[in-house]
Homo-oligomer: A and B are copies of this chain.
Amino acid sequence: MSPRGGARATVHDVAAHAGVSRGTVSRVLNGAGYVSAEARARIEAAIAEVGYVRNNAARNLVMRKTWAIGFVVHEPHQLFLEDPNIGAILLGTNAVVAEADHQLVVLVVDSDDDAARVSSYLRGGFVDGAVLVSARSHDKVADAVEQIKLPAAFIGHPEGRPSIPYVGIDNRSAARHLTSRLLGTGRRRIGMLASALDRDSGADRLAGFTDALGSRFDERLVVSAPLYSYRAGVDTMTELLRREPDIDGVFAASDAVAAGAIEALRTAGRKVPDDVGIVGFDDSAWALRCNPPLTTVHQPAADMGRAAATLVLDQLAGRTPSSVTLPTDVVWRESA
């Protein structure tokens, strides 16, 4: 006796088909023992026959749990397409979440409307927790997460959200370290191509650069752009050359920016690293694709994803999570 036309079979149908009660069917469905071999066999046959598939809306309603974790990506179009770390973070998160038998659900925020829709999705009980990537401090999605106390973790370190743990890297000390090594190669006039100063990563990298230069810091040698992009690298490097033609060292806020800068330097007839030494940040696919290969800071992207997932899972298990800062390494190659 299949269910009425087109509708999906329910536990009720299976029970009727097998000549048992719904309770018994539910028990075999959830592997909760106490079912006779005979009943189990009949029920399993019935399940196959009526093509039963569980209705999760009903299940979630009663269990108050969805076994799904959100992964919210909050980037402007272009950056989302270009950012090499985001994919690795995603895969790392997915690995841990899957291991815990949950389903990762990626939500992309690409406009203000999206932010509103994703917020209400999160509030709507579709997920048990969420990993937030590159959220700004003031952010509709973060507001929602905080308000409904959804177990969550940031990748990065937005200020003003003490209630949500994060996993980050120490951008400032990494930038300081990298700049110092660049100084150590004997460069005299070192500039910075800064990016995304509205975000902790961008601001901290600039701070680290400033730290390393100390009294030698000259604000005229810092040119900034809103995004970590190849295009930004071309533009800011061009501007930096205009301001200071005898520049001989450059710290680019990301590998993509560095790649663009190298292009601009080539156009201007400068040789890398002979005339100008340049370093990047991220150790992304760009780094090896550049000519010459880029000296840069390696970001443990997949590990960050894994750590963030663990932070969320911990909260689901009732444990109190604490933010983590992962170590980075300078990778010295030919560009400086």
Which size class do A's interface residues fall under?
A: 35 or more
* Distance from A105 Cβ to chain B, minimum over Cβ atoms (Å): 5
A321 within 8 A of B: no
Among A14-22, A111-119, A306-314, the stretch in contact with B: A111-119
Instruction: Scan residues 66-99 of chain A and give those whose CB is less than 8 A from a CB of chain B.
Output: 66, 68, 77, 80-82, 84, 87-88, 90-91, 94-95, 98
Instruction: Scan residues 96-140 of chain A and give those whose CB is less than 8 A from a CB of chain B.
Output: 98, 101, 103-108, 110-111, 113-114, 117-118, 121, 123-126
Residues of B contacting A117 with CB < 8 Å?
98, 101, 103
Taking A57-B60, A57-B125, A81-B88 as contacts, is the C-beta distance between A107 and B105 under 8 angstroms?
A: yes
**Residue pair A106, B105 in contact (C-beta under 8 Å):** yes
* Distance from A149 Cβ to chain B, minimum over Cβ atoms (Å): 9
A55 within 8 A of B: yes
A326 within 8 A of B: no
Closest residue of chain B to A288, judged by CB? B230
Identify 18 residue pairs between A and B in the complex whose beta-carbon atoms are under 8 Å apart, listed by A's number.
Answer: A53-B148, A54-B124, A55-B124, A57-B57, A68-B126, A80-B91, A91-B108, A91-B110, A95-B110, A98-B113, A103-B117, A103-B121, A105-B105, A105-B106, A105-B107, A106-B107, A126-B126, A259-B289
A-B complex: 7 closest residue pairs judged by Cβ atoms: A106-B106, A56-B124, A81-B87, A57-B60, A57-B61, A53-B123, A103-B121
